[in-house]
Amino acid sequence: MTCLRELQGKMANDHHFNHSRPRVWVPGPVIVGAGPSGLAAAACLKDKGVPSIVLERSNCIASLWQLKTYDRLRLHLPKKYCELPMMPFPKEYPTYPSKQEFVEYLENYAKRFEIEPVFEQVVESAEYDESVGFWRVVSVGLKGEEVEYECRWLVVATGENAEAVVPEIEGMEEFDGEVQHTSEYKSGSVFRGKKVLVVGCGNSGMEVCLDLCNHNAHPSLVVRDSVHVLPREMLGRSTFGLSMWLLRWLPIRLVDRLLLIMSWLIFGNTATFGLDRPKLGPLELKSKTGKTPVLDVGTLAKIKSGDVKIHPSIQSVGSHSVQFVNGRIEDFDAIILATGYKSNTPSWLKEKSMFSEKDGMPRKSFPQSWKGECGLYAVGFTKRGLVGSSMDAKRISEDIEKFWKAEAKNLSKTIARSFTLQPTFFPVFSCYDLENTRS
């Protein structure tokens, strides 16, 4: 990476590169995003002997975890289902590591595989240049300085959660109290004694309600759709682990049935306290729509006891109050939007066949979602969490390795030739040479 920075600096001042912005030829893949997926891809590539560079808009790795999550967050799934390739979690970590532990693990992962992302580089566009057969990736730094990276392979690792989703709600701009997305929420301590409306009943919304209760705030939860809430553990095993094990032997519908019977025995009928279950079972729903079941960490007990009130959809918002679709009006001091995230690829990736412009997700679903055309790859867009990221990273590195080895052979011959001709033009020659050797 130091080498890359030197090259970048050299090229910026190189008279042969007479462009409005410096151009950097990257021999290996450019990875956009230094979250767990980008780190996993870089590590797997490195393991295969393929160098890469990682561009990250933020000033740290795993910015979603470090900057945009609440303090009490722990991994929702047991650690063995969240480890990245080639490095298990430390034995002394608990089954569900805290976010601090997870970040520490990722920092150590980056160190171990010597991954040094280029920070504070927002990738604003990436376009495939057919005339030469490589990608032009333009990033913008903090002071607005642009750099163009040119590469044969582009790995998109910007995540399913790149931007907060903020729904349009009638009258929201009139509301006098605080309005926060969960990406800004840290702790319920600042809401002590306040009436807080949490909009959205996924894992984050449910957990924020629990956190608010624990800090003596008075949360209410807007539940618009039906939702599957499952205990985080059943029969002394994690529900996720048990499901995966049962799926080895039984069809998905039967496993769903067993999960629902167990949940009913533990929770009772969740519909009686305002949480209707979808018609499809939790695993079938997840595989068909990507909608994740909520793994309960204690919120349901608070709903049962009335500490968390349930409301239907919002009709409109006033300066201090919220009217719900059932006509009920209530006053609130704050609103927390647990309304999720979305991918941001449509805003920067100038390629429309692999990623949908509508939702920024690969058009092909798992397990085909990782590979596009012309050296384009996606890591971490499987709707299967970190397990999916690891699987993608391994596949991508294996695929690129094949081309890398073949091209490295041809390239070394050309480098030898071009160096005797004109050493200063090496990066340009190498680009065009790759075009000629492209498969």
Ligand X SMILES: Cc1cc2nc3c(=O)[nH]c(=O)nc-3n(C[C@H](O)[C@H](O)[C@H](O)COP(=O)(O)OP(=O)(O)OC[C@H]3O[C@@H](n4cnc5c(N)ncnc54)[C@H](O)[C@@H]3O)c2cc1C
Task: Provide the binding-site residues for ligand X, judged by CB under 6 A.
Answer: 32-38, 55-58, 62-64, 69, 73, 75-77, 82, 122-123, 157-159, 161-162, 204, 344, 348, 380, 385-386, 389
Distance CA 174, CA 187 (A): 25
Q: Which is nearer to ligand X, 117 or 375 (CB)?
A: 117
Question: What is the nearest approach in angstroms of ligand X to the Cβ of residue 172?
Answer: 23
Nearest approach in angstroms of CB 32 to ligand X is 5
CB 127 within 8 A of CB 3: no
Least distance to ligand X, CB of residue 418, Å: 32
Task: State how beta strands 237-238 and 233-234 pair.
Answer: antiparallel
Measured from the CB atom, the residue of 247 and 325 that comes closer to ligand X is 247
Contacts of 102 (CB under 8 A, 6+ apart): 62, 65, 75, 82
Residue 80 or 288: which CB sits closer to ligand X?
Answer: 80
Q: Tell the smallest beta-carbon distance from residue 217 to ligand X (Å).
A: 20
Q: How far is the CB of 49 from ligand X (least distance, A)?
A: 23
Q: Where do the DSSP E strands lie in 182-305?
A: 195-199, 218-222, 229-231, 233-234, 237-238, 294-296
213's CB contacts (< 8 A; 6+ apart) are: 188, 219, 302, 307, 308
Pairing of strands 154-156, 146-151: unpaired
At closest approach, how far in Å is the CB of 43 from ligand X?
Answer: 12
The secondary element (H helix, E strand) that includes residue 39 is helix 36-47
Beta-ladder partners of 129: 134
Q: Is the peptide bond before 219 cis (omega within 30 degrees of 0)?
A: no
Q: Record the tokens describing residue 104, joined without a space.
A: 């520490």
Q: Which residue is nearest to ligand X (CB)?
A: 35
Residue 297 is encoded by which pair of tokens? 């960490």
- What CA–CA distance (Å, rounded) separates 140 from 138? 7
- Please tell me the distance from the alpha carbon of residue 61 to that of residue 1, in angstroms, as a whole number: 15
**What distance lies between CA 118 and its chain's CA centroid?**
18
Q: How far is the CB of 349 from ligand X (least distance, A)?
A: 9
Rounded distance between C-alpha atoms, residue 111 and residue 43, angstroms: 10
φ/ψ of 116, rounded to 5, equals -120, 90
CB of 58 to ligand X, least distance (A): 4
